[in-house]
Amino acid sequence: MAKQHTVRTLFALCLALLMLVALPAKANVEKFGDVHVHYVAFSSTFLTPAIAKAYGIKRSRTSGLVNISVLDAGKQGSPAMAVGIKGEARNLIGNRVDLDFKEIREENAIYYIAPIDYSNEETFRFKIDLTLADGSVKTVEFQQKFYAD
């Protein structure tokens, strides 16, 4: 059980670090009032083999992950929010990929991750719809270029 807790802690730290360094010139957050949506897309090779195995994530030079977390900034400590989530990605020639998000809960954190396969230097435009507890829908759109490393 201690090993599983360590892997989960490492996973949370990896995702937090990736969110901080993914695009240093731009904060990867979309704010809808007190609802703050943090997002990042990155190569699965940034995850250690142990973390990828623990979460059933395919780790390859042409596989990426989209990570979304939603915080309620209107509450003390900005706690994580559970949301309904669906999304899609389109490359520059219009090919569409439906994103299959998996919810991960760790202590007080909630992450939504979805795998995406890509070719070297392929750019995707992401559209993520989040359904909040009150039934409202918030949409986050961003673009990411992937490299086969």
Burial of 108 (0-12, 13-18, 19+ CB in 10 A): exposed
Q: Superfamily assignment of 2-146 in CATH?
A: Domain of unknown function DUF4426 (2.60.40.3340)
pTM: 0.82
51 three-class SS: helix
Predicted pLDDT at 5: 55
Q: What's the pLDDT at 70?
A: 97
The predicted-structure confidence for 61-114, as pLDDT tens digits, reads as follows 999 999 999 999 999 999 999 999 999 999 999 999 999 999 999 889 999 999
Distance from C-alpha of 139 to C-alpha of 106, rounded to nearest angstrom: 24
N-terminal to C-terminal alpha carbon distance within the chain: 33
Tens of pLDDT, residue by residue over 122-133, are 999 999 999 999
pLDDT in tens, 21-74: 444 335 599 999 999 999 999 999 998 999 888 888 999 999 999 999 999 999
Q: Is the pLDDT of residue 120 over 60?
A: yes
